Amino acid sequence: MQLPNIKTPLPGPKAKAIIDRDATYVSPSYTRAYPLVMARGDGAAVEDVDGNLFLDCAAGIAVTSTGHSHPEVVQAVVEQAQKFLHMSGTDFYYEPQVRLAEEVAGIVPINGPVRTFFGNSGTEANEAAIKLAKYHTKRPFLVAFIGSFHGRTLGSLGLTASRAVQRKGFGPTAPGVFHAPYAECYRCPVGLKPDTCQAECLGFLEEQVFLHLVSPDEVAAIVVEPIQGEGGYLVPPKQFHDRLKGLARQHGILLIVDEVQSGMGRTGKMFACEHFDLKADMVSIAKGVASGLPLGLCSAKADIMGWRPGAHASTFGGNPVACAAALATIKLLKETLVANAAEVGAHLIEGLRDLAAQHPMIGDVRGRGLMIGIEFVRNRQTKERATAERDAVVDEAFKRGLLVLGAGRNALRLSPPLVLTRAQADVAVKILDESIGEVERAFRLVK
């Protein structure tokens, strides 16, 4: 298979017809980056309705962890669907849900016995974590971070601080959330260098938020992404998580780690927490856990998840078909795909860093495994954000058959299926080389 292989102008005639129908009947709130209308997929390949073939480095926003329609996942889905499609775990029992809870307890970065609540998405997992933290601690307040994304439902939206447009028009969001700076080392919020950093950005939380805004003994939980996703694929130093963990323990605050985007093998380890030797009180999981079927998990220390029957539930959460897909996904991750993400991710990062020597618009390349961010700037010395230029790179890559997405204000994210090969990674680098060069010429950013 030649990949990519673009046969028509984009969008092609069939794609354009579907997009026109969408404009009439579908909510305009969705943020479509480019006019892709998918027909089928296989591994890291996507075919649109006009027969164009694309190399997928977006994976449905880091969701199709085992690639598109992995045969073992499809088989698990079909076998479960032939038995029964649904029997709400809120009111009844079924073995796939119990078995998945057992599997998750064995891999999640939490010390001791673990119990899991089942929802349908990342935002539902975080809603459950918010409620459970308040229920367990009897404390009303929460801390999150600038640049964070934890969901769009009203509770998790109170935590989200990625882009104002996500909050605009919905206020007031859930009250009692305080935000602190995240460890954005390329643009250190307190002006330090990464090699001398001791996570001084957390001084704002200790010396400002906890002194002037909220007493720490009233904070139920700190909610943090181990590697920040929507904020720009930001990788903090280990000191950040060490200091944050110590601060939480000092004040009896629960530590909720949002692994919705960074978990399930994405970073070359099962969970991004493992890069920082970080253990949590609760972990939110979704996206890649079921290879594309809707599933969200809130896992917590067993002694924390002590809420009463009826305190929280979900009709569709832990659907048996989604659980079957998740069990097959975890098996594949353990066998080969976490290791592949580490190996191919390192190869891809090396290739992208080689590009940085050729393209002045690349200010930073960062990531772990196959969770990789490229930050674009207009000037490397001033680090002026190249926002329009980033959008243009995404568009140029699409024209050439590479699917990527933006992250933050001026970064591009690469979050391909974890089945990506080294050869496919090389194709992605080549297309990005061409796309960035075209944009640098158009915006007159060449050396």
Question: What is the pLDDT averaged over residues 96-117?
Answer: 98
Structure tokens at 330: 């975890």
In three state form, how does the secondary structure of the chain look? CCCCECCCCCCCHHHHHHHHHHHHHCCCCCCCCCCCCEEEEEECEEEECCCCEEEECCHHHHCCCCCECCHHHHHHHHHHHHHCCCCCCCCCCCHHHHHHHHHHHHHCCCCCCEEEEEECCHHHHHHHHHHHHHHHHCCCEEEEECCCCCCCCHHHHHHCCCCHHHCCCCCCCCCCEEEECCCCHHHCCCCCCHHHCCCHHHHHHHHHHHHHHCCHHHEEEEEECCCECCCCCECCCHHHHHHHHHHHHHHCCEEEEECCCCCCCCCCCCCHHHHHCCCCCEEEECHHHHCCCCCEEEEEECCCCCCCCCCCCCCCCCCHHHHHHHHHHHHHHHHHHHHHHHHHHHHHHHHHHHHHCCCCCEEEEEEECCEEEEEEEEECCCCEECHHHHHHHHHHHHHCCEECEEECCCEEEECCCCCCCHHHHHHHHHHHHHHHHHHHHHCCCCC
Q: Could you give the CA distance from residue 79 to residue 362 in angstroms, rounded to a whole number?
A: 47
pTM confidence score:
0.96
Q: What is the CA radius of gyration of the chain?
A: 22
What would the pLDDT profile of 9-38 be if each residue is shown by its tens digit?
999 999 999 999 999 999 999 999 999 999
What would the pLDDT profile of 307-343 be if each residue is shown by its tens digit?
999 999 999 999 999 999 999 999 999 999 999 999 9
Q: Could you give the CA distance from residue 260 to residue 255 in angstroms, rounded to a whole number?
A: 15
Name residue 248's amino acid: A
Q: Could you give the angle at the alpha carbon of 99 between the alpha carbons of 274 and 43, nearest 5°?
A: 65
Residue 2 pLDDT level (bands cut at 50, 70, 90) = confident
Is pLDDT at 447 greater than 70 in this prediction? no
Residue 370 pLDDT level (bands cut at 50, 70, 90) = very high
Residue 217 pLDDT level (bands cut at 50, 70, 90) = very high
Structure tokens at 39: 């027909």
Q: According to the model, what pLDDT value does residue 445 have?
A: 85
226 near 241, Cβ under 8 Å?
Answer: yes
Nearest CA-CA partner of 425 in 65, 56, 61, 63: 56
Q: According to the model, what pLDDT value does residue 252 have?
A: 98
For residue 444, CA distances in Å to 179, 232, 282, 321, 416 come to: 38, 24, 48, 52, 30
What would the pLDDT profile of 228-238 be if each residue is shown by its tens digit?
999 999 999 99
Who's near 289: CB < 8 A, 6+ residues apart? Answer: 65, 263, 264, 295, 296, 297, 326, 329, 330
In the predicted model, what is the mean pLDDT of the chain? 96
Is pLDDT at 206 greater than 90 in this prediction? yes
Percent of the chain with pLDDT over 70: 99
Question: What is the pLDDT averaged over residues 382-402?
Answer: 97
Q: Could you give the CA distance from residue 435 to residue 277 in angstroms, rounded to a whole number?
A: 37
Name residue 222's amino acid: I
Backbone φ and ψ of 189, nearest 5°: -65, -15
Q: According to the model, what pLDDT value does residue 172 have?
A: 86
Q: According to the model, what pLDDT value does residue 1 have?
A: 66
Residues in the chain: 447
Residue 196 pLDDT level (bands cut at 50, 70, 90) = low
Residue ranges and CATH numbers for the domains of the chain are: 13-70+336-442 (3.90.1150.10), 87-318 (3.40.640.10)
310 near 90, Cβ under 8 Å?
Answer: no
Q: According to the model, what pLDDT value does residue 200 have?
A: 86
322 near 294, Cβ under 8 Å?
Answer: yes
344 near 420, Cβ under 8 Å?
Answer: yes
Percent of the chain with pLDDT over 90: 91
What would the pLDDT profile of 251-271 be if each residue is shown by its tens digit?
999 999 999 999 999 999 999
Q: Could you give the CA distance from residue 106 to residue 90 in angstroms, rounded to a whole number?
A: 23
Q: According to the model, what pLDDT value does residue 157 have?
A: 95
Q: Could you give the CA distance from residue 102 to residue 434 in angstroms, rounded to a whole number?
A: 47
